[in-house]
């Protein structure tokens, strides 16, 4: 079937907190500090000063700013832990996931959005910190690196859906045979601009133990092929035989899977030398 992954591409990791230990544990630890010594952002406030790295993010590095100013992430919920965060990773992520959907008006995976769970480090917990924060951010590319922005993300998937994923520009290394030997980034772009990729839908895996990268890659690629066919308005068998398009999924990080985030995004790609200036969606002229 033609809906296989582009050569040398693996499922891109979803940024997020590590289910094995509390996010915030880093190789070198900062001295314990009183939680009252730093004013952390409340829900509805934003964080400035550094890109979001949800694997080893520390609450005490959060810098509060108004969301009208330039910032890297928006705090959409603040909750409270009654036991150390490593005992509540899945419950906390589920709470943040639900809060994010309510905040933007839809499944945040369908937007240019990443979600980080910010919990106390061991030192912060020992110093008395008990709150966790759900941080939502707009990404610069589908590698979950936050971008600087102004304005709130609230309602970004309601109405005109200004934060919805549509077309992407593929940054990668051609393989000399008309496709890619490596894909580095998928950068959101307006569909009227030259591009060679487009978001076509989501894959959501069953709530089972992580199946391993090889099995997951096969399942996700197959499912994304079906999503692409539906998006293009043709049968799966017809799409499977096309040589001008391929599908690429992003997602499948085992730590995020353990948290309950079993979602992957599906993209359909044109050849590197075949950039287009409109949506590939069936009947795109009538609107998305």
SS3 94: helix
Global pTM? 0.84
* Residue 10: how many other CB atoms lie within 10 Å: 11
pLDDT at 54: 52
Highest mean pLDDT: which range of 82-91, 129-138, 173-182 = 129-138
Mean pLDDT of 238-255: 90
* Residue 186: how many other CB atoms lie within 10 Å: 28
SS3 284: helix
pLDDT at 59: 63
Mean pLDDT of 52-67: 70
User: Taking a C-beta distance cutoff of 8 angstroms, is the pair 197, 270 a contact?
Assistant: yes
Phi, psi of 160 (to 5 degrees): -75, -5
Q: Kindly list the domain boundaries of the chain, sorted by start residue.
A: 35-138, 167-286
pLDDT in tens, 175-190: 888 898 888 889 999 9
Encoding tokens for residue 284?
Answer: 């795109």
């Amino acid at each position: 079937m033609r809906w296989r992954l582009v050569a040398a591409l693996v499922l891109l990791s979803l940024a997020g907190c590590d289910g094995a230990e509390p996010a915030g544990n880093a190789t070198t630890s900062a001295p314990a500090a009183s939680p009252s010594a730093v004013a952390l952002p409340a829900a509805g406030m934003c964080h400035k000063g550094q890109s979001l790295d949800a694997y080893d993010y520390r609450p005490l590095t959060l810098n509060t700013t108004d969301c009208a100013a330039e910032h890297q992430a928006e705090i959409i919920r603040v909750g409270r832990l009654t036991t150390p965060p490593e005992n509540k990773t899945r419950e906390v992520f589920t709470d943040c996931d639900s809060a994010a959907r309510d905040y933007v008006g839809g499944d945040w995976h369908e937007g240019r959005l990443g979600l980080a769970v910010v919990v106390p480090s061991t030192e912060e917990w020992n110093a008395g910190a008990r709150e966790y924060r759900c941080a939502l951010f707009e990404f610069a590319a589908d590698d979950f690196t936050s971008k600087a922005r102004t304005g709130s993300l609230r309602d970004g998937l309601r109405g005109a859906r200004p934060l919805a994923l549509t077309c992407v520009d593929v940054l990668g290394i051609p393989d000399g045979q008309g496709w890619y030997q490596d894909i580095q980034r998928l950068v959101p772009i307006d569909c009227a601009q030259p591009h060679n990729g487009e978001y076509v839908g989501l894959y959501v895996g069953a709530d089972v133990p992580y199946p391993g990268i090889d099995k997951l890659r096969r399942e996700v690629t197959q499912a994304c092929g079906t999503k692409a066919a539906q998006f293009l308005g043709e049968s799966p068998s017809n799409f499977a035989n096309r040589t001008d398009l391929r599908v690429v999924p992003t997602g499948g990080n085992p730590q995020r899977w353990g948290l309950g985030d079993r979602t992957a995004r599906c993209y359909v790609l044109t050849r590197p030398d075949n950039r287009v200036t409109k949506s590939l969606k069936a009947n795109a002229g009538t609107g998305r």
